[in-house]
Amino acid sequence: MAKKPIFTFIGLIFKLGFLLITLYLVFHVGKYAYQYTYKIAIQPSPEQRSVRDLEVTIPKGSSTKIIAEILEEKDLIANAYVFRLKSRVEKYDGSFKPGTFILNTGMSEEEIMEILRTGGMYAEGSRFTIPEGYTTESIAKKLDKEKIVTASDFLRAVNEGDFDYDFIKKIPERNMRLEGYLFPDTYEVRSEATSEEIISKMLKRFDDIYKSEYYIRAEELGYTMDEIIIIASIIESEARREEERPTIAGVIYNRLDQNMKLQMCSSVMYALGKRKDRLLFTDLEIESPYNTYKYVGLPQGPISNPGEASIIAALYPEEHNYLFFVLKNEETGEHVFTETGEEHLKAKQKYNQKF
């Protein structure tokens, strides 16, 4: 009979220990659940997020816990603890390989796990180059031809996609709203990349190139960012020689300052939807907000996707009194610049140019 209190005391300790363990688990599971739910609640949906490629290095010998923490720190997953649980349930735990991977913020956790398990990202990826001065439609056709995405899907994403870069808020509503902002460069994408991913990479590149000082400079000139890109797109479409970009920029600003029609052949070709060796007088009558022979001021939007050199020329134009330029040499792309209509007429006759 004397031993009963001892057994009762031991049982009480076991019960208390079990209760403490239960409370500990409830607390931490609840904590992780709260953190996970909170992160999901505050972060935008995959469709609303800008898709960014990130380089991730997984050190040799890394546990799933360490890998999950690396991914969470890179904002590739919402919660490291949940990632660990999911990898265990779906039998990925222990199969992740070390190395350097290219992952992007649009991937699901399952996609990330599969890439880390198979040990590769760009093994079957694609590389493509967009030349300076390409229009959005030209980009779409090139990507289609190279079997990266279809032209129709790319154009759909351009017009309907939701990309959360701050500068996009400064672009007025119009058809082909992203024209001018799909930065020309060489890109690498995964084999299953969507049109949205590709566009987001191009917009990210533009965002990197268009520095904060450029916004300040645009204000100094009295123009918006969008107007600067419109001017840059005209420069890109008209200039063939690097050194002439600032000079052509100066012509554009001089004509705008004098309320003259810009009369840029490249804008008419954009309105026509095709490049031509020579325009006809009937082409100049096309009804379009991009026809600078018909309307004073800048066209409604950019007429191409300019490179950095043309953007810089638009921001820092050469100061001169030129109002006209005529193509002097078809092979070299050299122009003759003149100040008066009379000089311009003589130059056109000399070099056999209509416009």
Q: pTM above the 0.75 mark?
A: no
**pLDDT, position 229:** 98
User: At a CB cut-off of 8 Å and minimum separation 6, what does 228 contact?
Assistant: 214, 218, 221, 311, 314, 315
The predicted pLDDT at position 125 comes to 67
pLDDT for the residue numbered 11: 64
Q: Tens-digit pLDDT profile for the chain (355 aa)?
A: 455 555 565 666 666 666 666 666 655 555 455 445 544 444 444 444 456 778 788 888 899 999 999 999 999 999 999 999 999 988 888 889 888 788 888 888 988 998 888 875 544 567 899 999 999 999 999 999 999 999 999 999 999 998 888 999 999 999 999 999 999 999 988 777 889 989 999 999 999 999 999 999 999 999 999 999 999 999 999 999 999 999 999 999 999 999 999 999 999 999 999 887 788 889 999 999 999 999 999 999 999 999 999 999 999 999 999 999 999 998 899 999 999 999 999 999 998 887 6
Long-range contacts, 154-157 (Cβ 8 Å, 24+): 154/195, 154/198, 154/199, 156/195, 157/194, 157/195, 157/196, 157/199
Enumerate the β-bridge partners of residue 128.
Answer: 187
Tell me the domains of the chain and their CATH numbers.
Answer: 53-124 (3.30.1490.480), 126-209 (no CATH), 213-350 (no CATH)
CA-nearest of 216, 212, 178, 190 to 120 is 190
**Contact status, residue 310 vs residue 132, Cβ threshold 8 Å:** yes
